[in-house]
Structure 1
Amino acid sequence: MYPLTINHWLTQHAQFRPNHLAFVFDDTRLTFAELNRSVNRMANALRAVGIGKGDKVATVLPNSRELYEAFWAVAKLGAVLVPMSPMVRGRGLINLLNDADSGLVLTDSAHASFLDEVRNELIIPATNYWLTDGEQSNWQSYAALGEAASPEEPPTLDLSGDDLYNIMYSSGTTGLPKGIMHSHFVRSMYGTLFANAYRIRPESVIMHSGSIVFNGAMLTFMPAMFIGCTYVLMKEFSVQPVLQTLASEGVTHTILVPTQIASCLRYPEFTISKMPAIEYILSVGAPLLSEQKEELIRRFPNTFYELYGLTEGFMTVLDKTVSAEKTGSVGRPIWFSEMKIVDDEGLELPTGEVGEIIGRAPFLTSGYYKKPALTADALRNGWLYTGDLGYIDNDGYLFLAGRKKDLIISGGVNVYPKDIEEIIIRHPSVAEVAVFGVPHPDWGETPVAAVRLVAEVSIRELKDWTNQHIEARYQKISAMMLLDEFPKNVAGKVLKNELQERYSAMRKW
Structure 2
Amino acid sequence: MNDVARSVAKWAKIEPGRLAVVDEAAAITYGELDERANRWVAWLVRCGAAPGDGVLLLLPNRFEWIELLVAVNRANVLPYVLSTQLASIEVARIATETNAKVVITARSLNVGDQIGDLVANMPLAQLFVEDFADAARSIEPVKLKLTDTSSKMIVLFTSGTTGKPKGVIVPQSVFDLSLCDTDHIRNPQTHLLCRPLFFRAHLAAACSAIQEGNTVALSRHPSAGHWSALIERLNISLISLGPGDLLIWLQELEREGSGFPISLTQILTTGAPLTPMIRARLKPLIQGVRATDFYGTSEAGGIAMIDDSEWESKQGSCGKPMFFAKVTILDEQDRPLEAGLRGEICVGTHHLFTEYYRDPESTSAACAGEYRRTGDIGYFDEEGYLYVTGRKHDVIHCGGYCLHPQEVESVLRESDEVEEAVVVGRDGFAGSQEPIAFVLLRDRYRQDENATAGTKQALLTLCESRLAAYKVPADMIFVAELPRNAAGKADSRELLRRLSQEQGALTPKGGCS
Q: TM-score, normalised by structure 1?
A: 0.88
Task: Give the secondary structure class of the aligned counterpart of 2:92.
Answer: helix
Aligned match of 1:339 in 327, 331, 336? 327
Residues 31-80 of structure 1 deviation map (CA, whole Å, 9 limit, x = unaligned)? 21121111111122212333232222112322222223111111111212
Task: Output the aligned Cα RMSD.
Answer: 3.0
Contact preservation (8 Å) 1:247, 1:274: no
**CA distance in structure 2 between the aligned counterparts of 1:391 and 1:407, rounded to whole angstroms:** 17
1:137-286 superposed matches below 5 A: 141-151=131-141, 154-164=143-153, 166-188=154-176, 203-268=188-253, 274-286=260-272
Contact preservation (8 Å) 1:105, 1:124: no
1:7-46 superposed matches below 5 A: 7-46=5-44
Task: Give the secondary structure class of the aligned counterpart of 1:331.
Answer: strand
Task: Give the secondary structure class of the aligned counterpart of 2:150.
Answer: coil
**CA distance in structure 2 between the aligned counterparts of 1:35 and 1:118, rounded to whole angstroms:** 29
**CA distance in structure 2 between the aligned counterparts of 1:439 and 1:352, rounded to whole angstroms:** 32
Contact preservation (8 Å) 2:8, 2:34: yes
**Equivalent AA in structure 1 for residue 476 of structure 2:** M
Contact preservation (8 Å) 1:271, 1:300: no
Contact preservation (8 Å) 1:341, 1:356: yes
**Equivalent AA in structure 1 for residue 281 of structure 2:** E
Contact preservation (8 Å) 1:205, 1:231: yes
**CA distance in structure 2 between the aligned counterparts of 1:469 and 1:273, rounded to whole angstroms:** 32
Aligned match of 1:450 in 438, 451, 454? 438
Aligned length: 493
- What is the aligned partner in structure 1 of residue 424 from structure 2? 436
The answer as to 2:450 corresponding to 1:464 is no
Q: TM-score, normalised by structure 2?
A: 0.87
Q: Alpha-carbon deviation of 1:27?
A: 4.3
- Bigger drift between 252-261 and 484-493 goes to 484-493
- What is the aligned partner in structure 1 of residue 472 from structure 2? 476
Aligned match of 1:357 in 345, 348, 369? 345
**CA distance in structure 1 between the aligned counterparts of 2:393 and 2:281, rounded to whole angstroms:** 30
**CA distance in structure 1 between the aligned counterparts of 2:297 and 2:185, rounded to whole angstroms:** 22
1:313-392 superposed matches below 5 A: 313-314=300-301, 315-392=303-380
**Equivalent AA in structure 1 for residue 455 of structure 2:** L
Contact preservation (8 Å) 1:304, 1:323: no
- Bigger drift between 411-420 and 9-18 goes to 411-420
CA separation of 1:83/1:4 partners in 2, compared to 1, >3 Å: closer, same or farther? Answer: closer
**Equivalent AA in structure 1 for residue 323 of structure 2:** W
Give unpaired runs (5+ residues) of structure 1: 134-140
Contact preservation (8 Å) 1:84, 1:168: yes
- What is the aligned partner in structure 1 of residue 508 from structure 2? none
**Equivalent AA in structure 2 for residue 467 of structure 1:** L
**CA distance in structure 1 between the aligned counterparts of 2:148 and 2:33, rounded to whole angstroms:** 22
CA separation of 1:156/1:123 partners in 2, compared to 1, >3 Å: closer, same or farther? Answer: farther
Q: Alpha-carbon deviation of 1:173?
A: 3.3
**CA distance in structure 2 between the aligned counterparts of 1:274 and 1:446, rounded to whole angstroms:** 41
Contact preservation (8 Å) 1:5, 1:159: no
The answer as to 2:501 corresponding to 1:505 is yes
Q: Alpha-carbon deviation of 1:441?
A: 4.8
**CA distance in structure 2 between the aligned counterparts of 1:127 and 1:4, rounded to whole angstroms:** 27
**CA distance in structure 2 between the aligned counterparts of 1:348 and 1:202, rounded to whole angstroms:** 46
The answer as to 2:478 corresponding to 1:486 is no
Residues 146-190 of structure 1 deviation map (CA, whole Å, 9 limit, x = unaligned)? 222224x612132232311x211032233210111122212225x
**Equivalent AA in structure 1 for residue 447 of structure 2:** E
CA separation of 1:65/1:371 partners in 2, compared to 1, >3 Å: closer, same or farther? Answer: same
Task: Give the secondary structure class of the aligned counterpart of 1:7.
Answer: helix
**Equivalent AA in structure 2 for residue 235 of structure 1:** R
The answer as to 2:393 corresponding to 1:405 is yes
Contact preservation (8 Å) 2:235, 2:263: yes
- What is the aligned partner in structure 2 of residue 138 from structure 1? none
Residues 257-296 of structure 1 deviation map (CA, whole Å, 9 limit, x = unaligned)? 2222111112338899652332321222334221111211
User: Identity of aligned pairs, percent?
Assistant: 24
Residues 92-122 of structure 1 deviation map (CA, whole Å, 9 limit, x = unaligned)? 221122233321012233345x332342442
**CA distance in structure 1 between the aligned counterparts of 2:128 and 2:161, rounded to whole angstroms:** 30
**CA distance in structure 2 between the aligned counterparts of 1:296 and 1:192, rounded to whole angstroms:** 32
Aligned match of 2:112 in 91, 95, 115? 115
**CA distance in structure 1 between the aligned counterparts of 2:265 and 2:486, rounded to whole angstroms:** 27
**CA distance in structure 1 between the aligned counterparts of 2:448 and 2:60, rounded to whole angstroms:** 38
**CA distance in structure 1 between the aligned counterparts of 2:467 and 2:179, rounded to whole angstroms:** 45
Q: Alpha-carbon deviation of 1:250?
A: 1.9
**Equivalent AA in structure 1 for residue 63 of structure 2:** R
**Equivalent AA in structure 1 for residue 299 of structure 2:** E
**CA distance in structure 2 between the aligned counterparts of 1:428 and 1:160, rounded to whole angstroms:** 50
